[in-house]
Structure 1
Amino acid sequence: MLTQHAYKEHRAQIFDMARQAYLRRMAPYVRPRAAAARELGWIIDEAAGKGLRGPALHRRVLRDATLRGQGVPLQYLLGNQPFGDLDVLCRPGVLIPRWETEEWTLRLAQATRENVPDPGALRVLDLCTGTGCVGLLLAHELGAAVRGVDVSPKAVGLARRNAAHNGLDVAFARADIFDDSPALHGPADLVVANPPYISRAGLRQAEPSVRRFEPMLALHGGVEFFSRIFALADAAGAHGVVAELSDDAQMREIWATVNADRAWAGGALRDAAGRTRCVVAYRDWSWLSALVDERY
């Protein structure tokens, strides 16, 4: 019969053997090993947090470790992604929020608080909303009235779940931004968007997990989306537009297209890695220039 000490050692050996098995399943995609070990800790915590124990816990962790080793995004396995102070639910078929998007949304919220006397009175239109992360974070940070739009029924459903999950009153509607939908009508002070902006060449250079598992509908696009975003901003009487994009070349193309009549001032916002990340445009909201790292 095992003593208590021997029993604990035996359990530790079994756990270590299982842990090594999990890490081997993750090895084809997640490297270095330290990164895999960190992700494995999150996977175990998530499964245990759902009340799984013993064989059920082992089966879930083994399944998720195997899927991660095949390139399935971690956020789809964990089911969520922190975004500012929010916990954003993530599901297959809807684009996963990125740190770059979180960064510019927080910068925009801070600049708005510092320059708008009553940010809670602002009306924000969030186009191509996806999980709803941008609009929801702006509603959380500013108390603004936000409405979000996406063409994907899965995205709209998840955005609504995220609003409820985070206790926020934000309306989301399904609409194609190229259609004349009632959801696109109405005044807005600010238009934000994270539209499909990756070219076919860019998609070939994207991570395999992005190409294989994230929705192409939310990834592939070009300047036509930005032309439509600015047309909707004009119709809404917006003071400013902030929209995510891919790089310097796309920024130049967008600016030449949407601002041919010089109706807007602004330029490019760069992320913490120094990459061009957003087009920032404004009319009378000159304070948005605080977000512009390169004028156009």
Structure 2
Amino acid sequence: MPRLLPRVLHHARKIDPLLPLVLQATRDLASAKNELRWLKEFVIEQQSRHPKHDDRKVLDQRLRQVCIDRARGKPLQYIMGSEYFGDLEISCEKGVLIPRQETATSVTHLIILLHHSSNNKTKTPLPNNLKLLDLCTGTGCIPLLSHYLFTSIHKRKAENLEVVGVDISPLALKLAKKNLQNLIAEGTIQKKPNLRFLQADVLSSTDGHGDAAIPSLKSALEHYNFTSDLAGSGKSSWDIIISNPPYISPQAFARTTTRSVKRYEPRLALVPPYTASDKDTNQGDLFYPHLLSIAASHSAKIVLFEVADLQQAIRVSAMAIHQNIWDGIQIWRDDPMAAETVGDTALDGKVKVVGQGHGRSVVVYRGVGKQWLGVED
């Protein structure tokens, strides 16, 4: 991290005595000004909830403390308690990964494509009862945004949409359920949506042992009777599977992850569990073979996985090609809605690379999923 020049700190101090503290975190004066404004608004709003303690000295002390926390690298989202994910304000708490806007962009783009295709009379429409499964759900941001976009923006009836989010972390599931209740209370999501959050270990094919054992994904879904669509198979069927799994390798976490992320965000949501593999990249890619296997066995028509970068996207795409069951594979960059580069492909032209920015997501599809996405031959 580059050292801040004394003249920059001096200039910041002349603007506001607290600005140098925030500048230590942002390293950019314009960003620091914005964050300081937000922190002031946040502290004032918090103070207004306690009019009996409406003391200027207390307010100043509180503001200084949150600026000190920010200077130490504490994420703004943990200080202020929320982050926007698309149009939704999602509560954030320490111990659960902060939602990223790039993820919201990928999810929004996917649902826009599905909506446009469903309105095209020449295409196979989405099923009347659409089922979406999100694995490693964290705050629940992906299921919540998906439900909101399908029902509030694209006017799908809530009873014709089934959305499930799965995570291994009790902290994450508690926060996901809190976010659902908050959005229902404010009227953003209608009451009694067909939206649930379940605890399961997506890496495990069998249940553990003991009272505190975490069920496998199969057991968790069976417990809630998500098995009716594949008669006799004992497996549930999902139209769309999405996942933003832990994908950072141990070496990348140590060398390239920012101090703020390493110090404050949960390693469980960032770095896959250690295995005996001697390759660092294999450690970072650990979840993807399992996720692809889940997608295959649960008859998913469309799958969207978030990845760290273009190199990992290419590796995950190669795994999907090896399955030999998908009709098409795409890599979406940070902004998949941007005009794509002509002729931008990977893996000998087998994979189309869409949009602008860094590699962000891998999308695979088969059967009617191709028409749902509006993919042209």
The two structures have a TM-score, normalised by structure 2, of: 0.69
Q: Unaligned regions of 5+ residues in structure 1, if any?
A: 1-16
Paired residue for 1:231?
293
Q: How far 1:110 moved relative to its partner?
A: 0.5
Amino acid of the structure 2 residue aligned with 1:156: L
How far, CA to CA, are the matches of 1:183 and 1:134 in structure 2?
Answer: 19
Bigger mean CA deviation after superposition, 251-260 or 278-287: 251-260
Q: How far 1:83 moved relative to its partner?
A: 1.2
Paired residue for 1:286?
370
How far, CA to CA, are the matches of 2:14 and 2:58 in structure 1?
Answer: 13
1:248 to 310, 327, 336: 310
How much identity, in percent, do the aligned residues show? 34
2:200 to 160, 175, 188: 175
Task: Flag the 1:20–1:119 CA change in 2: closer, same or farther, 3 A.
Answer: farther
2:358 to 275, 279, 296: 275
Bigger mean CA deviation after superposition, 201-210 or 91-100: 201-210
Q: How far 1:254 moved relative to its partner?
A: 1.6
Deviant stretches of 4+, over 6 Å: none
> Could you list the per-position Cα deviations for residues 204-245 of structure 1 after superposition, in whole angstroms to 9, with x for gaps in the alignment?
212211111111111113322111111111222111100100
What is the RMSD computed on CA atoms of the aligned residues? Answer: 2.3
How far, CA to CA, are the matches of 1:126 and 1:120 in structure 2?
Answer: 19
How far, CA to CA, are the matches of 1:195 and 1:120 in structure 2?
Answer: 29
Paired residue for 2:163?
146
Amino acid of the structure 2 residue aligned with 1:85: D
Kindly indicate which of the two structures has a greater share of residues assigned to helix. 1
How far, CA to CA, are the matches of 1:269 and 1:256 in structure 2?
Answer: 15
2:267 to 211, 216, 225: 216
2:130 to 107, 122, 136: 122
Residues 125 and 146 in structure 1, CA contact (< 8 A), matched pair in contact too: yes
> Could you list the per-position Cα deviations for residues 112-170 of structure 1 after superposition, in whole angstroms to 9, with x for gaps in the alignment?
11123457721000000011111110011113321000111111111111111112432
SS of the residue corresponding to residue 210 of structure 1 reads helix
Residues 89 and 158 in structure 1, CA contact (< 8 A), matched pair in contact too: yes
How far, CA to CA, are the matches of 1:32 and 1:247 in structure 2?
Answer: 25
SS of the residue corresponding to residue 191 of structure 1 reads strand
Bigger mean CA deviation after superposition, 229-238 or 59-68: 229-238
Q: How far 1:184 moved relative to its partner?
A: 4.2
Task: Flag the 1:36–1:217 CA change in 2: closer, same or farther, 3 A.
Answer: same
Residues 184 and 232 in structure 1, CA contact (< 8 A), matched pair in contact too: no
Task: Flag the 1:290–1:118 CA change in 2: closer, same or farther, 3 A.
Answer: closer
Bigger mean CA deviation after superposition, 42-51 or 275-284: 42-51
Q: Where does 1:87-102 land on structure 2 (aligned, <5 Å)?
A: 87-102=89-104
How far, CA to CA, are the matches of 2:90 and 2:358 in structure 1?
Answer: 25
Paired residue for 2:5?
none
Paired residue for 1:162?
179
Residues 26 and 70 in structure 1, CA contact (< 8 A), matched pair in contact too: no
> Could you list the per-position Cα deviations for residues 177-207 of structure 1 after superposition, in whole angstroms to 9, with x for gaps in the alignment?
1223422452211000000011223222122
How far, CA to CA, are the matches of 1:30 and 1:291 in structure 2?
Answer: 41
Paired residue for 1:198?
248
How far, CA to CA, are the matches of 1:86 and 1:131 in structure 2?
Answer: 12
SS of the residue corresponding to residue 173 of structure 1 reads strand
Paired residue for 1:136?
144
Residues 86 and 101 in structure 2, CA contact (< 8 A), matched pair in contact too: no
Amino acid of the structure 2 residue aligned with 1:23: L
SS of the residue corresponding to residue 286 of structure 2 reads helix
Amino acid of the structure 2 residue aligned with 1:34: A
Q: Unaligned regions of 5+ residues in structure 2, if any?
A: 1-12, 49-53, 119-124, 152-160, 205-215, 223-235, 273-283, 336-355
SS of the residue corresponding to residue 174 of structure 2 reads helix
